[in-house]
């Protein structure tokens, strides 16, 4: 064989990149055809047999679509490929089934809640109105203030404690690691009312003798710490030990290594830990009702006086029973959802920012 030397070519503009492994237009058309055909066929089956309802239709469609797809792959590439396609379709169906109830809930909350929205809603409270009043008076401003105060004060307490606990478990690995890990895990199963009763009997009765949102936040802190600590521990465990060794080998103390290398590397995971913590407490009703008392008036002082919150507002409105009150409750749910999503978005944004910016 003679040697070959590549000719000197530097311009390849005439060559265009392709992805031969992706489904071609023809493949996509066939898949769409199978999809539509399966819909039609399941409709027929529903009409002709005793099956009925949306669930029956979905089940029929799923089995028809899966079978046809798998058969097609069987004739193209054989049985292994058919099984692959079968599992693929089932996995996609599983994901779809997860989405259905979530989007259904979202749809219900939004469509029912949006009716009660009017601009002044966010700046008024219910101190002069009953839940049964018409929808254009009163508001839930006091509940938003209450929920934000409850959650943010709880965050101030629980995030440092939770993350420090996780750092103790993963970085220091002291002799109390095992019992602490066990207690943290056990605590994550504590019912919220137990946390509420604990603060009630330990602080409210003997010391303050009055409702306040601070006490509510303390009980939420008890609920949130285990979630934050456990998730943060998992995240910190994923950071490769090489990084810690590299930091220490450069002459860093353990504290500098953890603060400069380990925690920044785990940043987005730690943010996720905090998000999960917020998700755990944002909708809590029982301990808040017990300790913050629930109120219909604006209260900007977390240390004294009864404080309303969105879950309390929802609970009270549903209890009142009239159509206006029920719409108020849905509106409260809608606003609570928006707030939780907004908190998630902010946390994600902070977590995704490039290190060093």
Partner 1 sequence: MSTENNGEKNKMETSTTPSSLSSVAAASKRTGINTRPMGTGLEARNVHAWFGTHHALADVSLDFASGTVTALIGPSGCGKSTFIRTLNRMHEFIPTAAMAGQVMLDGKDIYDPSVDVTKIRLQIGMVFQKPNPFPSMTIGENVLSGLKLAQLKTSNKEELLEECLMKAGLWAEVKDRLNAHGGSLSGGQQQRLCIARSLAVRPQVLLMDEPCSALDPGSTLRIEETISELSSSMTIVIVTHNMQQAARVSDYTAFFLSDGGPGQMIEMAPTSEIFARPRDKRTENYVTGRFG
Residue 75 touches partner 1, criterion: CB under 8 A? no
Residue 54 touches partner 1, criterion: CB under 8 A? no
Least Å distance, CB 308 to partner 1, is: 48
- 12, 25, 102, 175: which one binds partner 1 (CB under 8 A): 12
Residue 25 touches partner 1, criterion: CB under 8 A? no
- 37, 78, 160, 240: which one binds partner 1 (CB under 8 A): 78
In whole angstroms, give the CA distance from residue 176 to residue 271.
26
Least Å distance, CB 11 to partner 1, is: 9
Cβ atoms within 10 Å of 115's Cβ, excluding its own: 14
H or E stretch covering 329: helix 323-352
Residue 10 touches partner 1, criterion: CB under 8 A? yes
Q: 24 or 103: whose CB is closer to partner 1?
A: 24
Q: Which stretch binds partner 1 (CB under 8 A): 7-15, 193-201, 243-251, 319-327?
A: 7-15
Specify the long-range contacts of residues 20-28, CB closer than 8 Å, at least 24 apart.
none
Residue burial 63-77, b: 16+ Cβ < 10 Å; e: rest: ebbbebbbebbbeee
Residue 6 touches partner 1, criterion: CB under 8 A? yes
Beta bridge partners of 293: 307
Q: 23 or 346: whose CB is closer to partner 1?
A: 23
Q: 23 or 172: whose CB is closer to partner 1?
A: 23
Residue 102 touches partner 1, criterion: CB under 8 A? no
By CB neighbour count within 10 A (0-12 exposed, 13-18 middle, 19+ buried), where does 211 fall?
buried
Cβ contact 34:23 at 8 Å: no
Q: Which stretch binds partner 1 (CB under 8 A): 8-16, 197-205, 285-293, 334-342?
A: 8-16
Distance linking the first and last C-alpha atoms of the chain? 57
Cβ atoms within 10 Å of 236's Cβ, excluding its own: 22
What φ, ψ does residue 293 adopt, rounded to 5°? 85, -35
Cβ contact 259:167 at 8 Å: no
Residue 241 touches partner 1, criterion: CB under 8 A? no
Site size toward partner 1, by CB under 8 A: 23
Least Å distance, CB 185 to partner 1, is: 25
Residues across the chain: 357
Q: 17 or 119: whose CB is closer to partner 1?
A: 17
> Could you give the count of Cα atoms lying within 13 Å of 125 in the half-sphere of its Cβ?
17
- 31, 67, 71, 81: which one binds partner 1 (CB under 8 A): 81
Chain residues binding partner 1 by CB under 8 A are: 1, 3-6, 8-10, 12, 15-21, 24, 27, 76-78, 80-81
């Amino acid at each position: 064989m003679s040697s070959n030397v590549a000719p000197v070519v530097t311009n390849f503009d005439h060559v265009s990149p392709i992805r031969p492994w992706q489904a071609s237009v023809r493949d996509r058309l066939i898949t769409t055809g199978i999809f539509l055909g399966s819909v039609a066929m399941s409709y027929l089956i529903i009409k002709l047999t005793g099956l009925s309802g949306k669930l029956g239709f979905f089940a029929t469609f799923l089995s028809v679509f899966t079978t046809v797809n798998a058969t097609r792959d069987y004739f193209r590439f054989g049985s292994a490929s058919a099984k692959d396609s079968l599992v693929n379709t089932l996995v996609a169906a599983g994901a779809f089934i997860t989405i259905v109830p979530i989007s259904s809930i979202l749809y219900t909350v939004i469509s029912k809640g949006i009716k009660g929205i009017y601009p002044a809603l966010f700046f008024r409270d219910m101190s002069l109105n009953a839940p049964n009043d018409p929808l254009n008076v009163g508001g839930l401003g006091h509940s938003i203030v209450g929920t934000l105060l409850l959650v943010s004060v709880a965050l101030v307490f629980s995030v440092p404690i939770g993350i420090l606990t996780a750092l103790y478990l993963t970085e220091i690995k002291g002799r109390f690691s095992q019992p602490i890990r066990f207690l943290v895990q056990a605590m994550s199963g504590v019912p919220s009312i137990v946390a509420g009763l604990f603060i009630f009997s330990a602080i409210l009765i003997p010391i303050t003798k009055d409702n306040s949102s601070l006490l509510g936040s303390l009980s939420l802190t008890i609920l949130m710490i285990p979630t934050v600590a456990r998730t943060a521990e998992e995240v910190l465990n994923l950071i490769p030990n090489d990084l810690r060794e590299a930091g220490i080998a450069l002459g860093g103390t353990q504290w500098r290594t953890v603060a400069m290398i380990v925690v920044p590397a785990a940043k987005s995971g730690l943010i996720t830990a905090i998000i999960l913590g917020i998700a755990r407490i944002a909708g809590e009703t029982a301990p808040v009702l017990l300790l913050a008392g629930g109120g219909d008036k604006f209260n900007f002082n977390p240390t004294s006086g009864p404080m309303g919150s969105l879950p309390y507002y929802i609970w009270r409105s549903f209890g009142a029973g009239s159509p206006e009150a029920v719409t108020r409750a849905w509106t409260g749910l809608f606003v609570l959802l928006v707030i939780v999503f907004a908190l998630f978005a902010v946390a994600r944004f902070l977590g995704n920012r490039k290190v060093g910016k």
